[in-house]
């Protein structure tokens, strides 16, 4: 997450500094796309990165399940509906590719301690965007809302479980999201880097057949936590 945040800040600073040299964000900036935000509806697309994690809640004290996060990739579309001068409704369907590696420290054979959890999510967020007043060619904003995610690799309906090295999670999850970003008005398009936290609201773990399973028996709930960094082009 720290690496993703550093990347977001670095790219935002680079873009701002580059445009400043062209007197776009200087003392007397050249105003670009002056009427862009007056549109009732506009469209765009995004590319970005993600870091997914799991938050475990246990039934009783015991060895934790360690989660090794990786950096994944995002791509999707943006539909923006202007509700009021400073409030927009956004729909951002996208594909999110990620991987989490779980290590169990319970009393299981070393060969059974690791689980590689690959996931491809169809992510469907409905968000409210709260923008500040535009200053030159910069307009910060906050964003928040709810989302649904469909995990194409959930294995929820599989008859195999961890005893056969098959880790299972639920196919659909509900989340809430909150984040912030900056609209940068360039000469021909609007560029919007943003960072967002995603928090699962329900238990996603599918239990093993054995209620005393060393992989799932002590887990009260398992919920998604994620950080998204998206670069949106309108």
pLDDT digits (tens, 9 = 90+) for 36-57: 888 999 999 999 999 999 999 9
pLDDT at 21: 45
CB 80 within 8 A of CB 44: yes
CB 197 within 8 A of CB 177: yes
> What percent of the chain lies above the pLDDT cut of 90?
61
Cα 153 to chain center, whole Å? 17
List the single range of 3-7, 103-107, 119-123, 158-162 with lowest mean pLDDT.
3-7
Return the number of other C-beta atoms located less than 10 Å from residue 159's C-beta: 9
Residue 148 confidence class, pLDDT cut points 50, 70, 90: very high
DSSP label at residue 231? E
Please state, in angstroms and rounded to a whole number, the distance separating the CA atoms of residues 179 and 8: 13
Can you say whether the dihedral through the CA atoms of 178, 180, 185, 190 is positive or negative? Answer: negative
* Range 46-65 burial, b when 16+ CB lie within 10 A, else e: bebbbbbbbebeeeeeeeeb
List the single range of 83-97, 106-120, 139-153, 201-215 with lowest mean pLDDT.
106-120
pLDDT at 109: 74
Residues with Cβ within 8 Å of residue 42, at least 6 apart in sequence = 36, 80, 234
Domains and CATH numbers, the chain: 2-233 (2.40.160.20)
| 3-class secondary structure, 210 | coil
Count of alpha carbons within 13 angstroms of residue 197, beta-carbon side: 7
CB 179 within 8 A of CB 197: yes
Residue 20 confidence class, pLDDT cut points 50, 70, 90: very low
Residue 28 confidence class, pLDDT cut points 50, 70, 90: low
Output the pTM of the full model: 0.84
138-151 vs 190-200, strand pairing mode: unpaired
């Amino acid at each position: 997450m720290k690496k993703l945040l550093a990347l977001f800040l670095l790219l935002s600073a680079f873009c701002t500094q580059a445009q400043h040299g062209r007197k776009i964000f200087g003392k007397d900036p050249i105003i670009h796309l002056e009427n862009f935000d007056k549109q009732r509806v506009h469209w765009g697309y995004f590319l970005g990165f993600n870091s997914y994690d799991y938050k475990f809640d246990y039934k009783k004290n015991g060895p934790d399940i360690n989660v090794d996060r990786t950096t994944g990739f995002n791509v999707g579309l943006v539909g923006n509906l202007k509700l009021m001068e400073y409030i927009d409704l956004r729909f951002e369907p996208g594909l999110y590719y990620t991987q989490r590696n779980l290590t169990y420290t319970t009393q299981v054979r070393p060969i059974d301690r690791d689980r590689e959890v690959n996931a491809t999510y169809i992510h469907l967020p409905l968000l409210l965007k709260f923008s500040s007043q535009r200053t030159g060619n910069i307009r910060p904003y906050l964003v928040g809302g709810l989302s649904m995610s469909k995990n194409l690799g959930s294995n929820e309906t599989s008859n195999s479980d961890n005893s056969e090295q098959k880790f299972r999670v639920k196919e659909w999850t509900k989340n809430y999201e909150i984040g912030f970003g900056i609209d940068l008005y360039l000469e021909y398009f609007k560029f919007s880097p943003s960072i967002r936290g995603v928090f699962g609201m329900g238990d996603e773990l599918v239990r093993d057949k054995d209620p005393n399973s060393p992989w799932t028996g002590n887990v009260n709930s398992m919920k998604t936590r994620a950080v998204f960094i998206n670069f949106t082009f309108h």
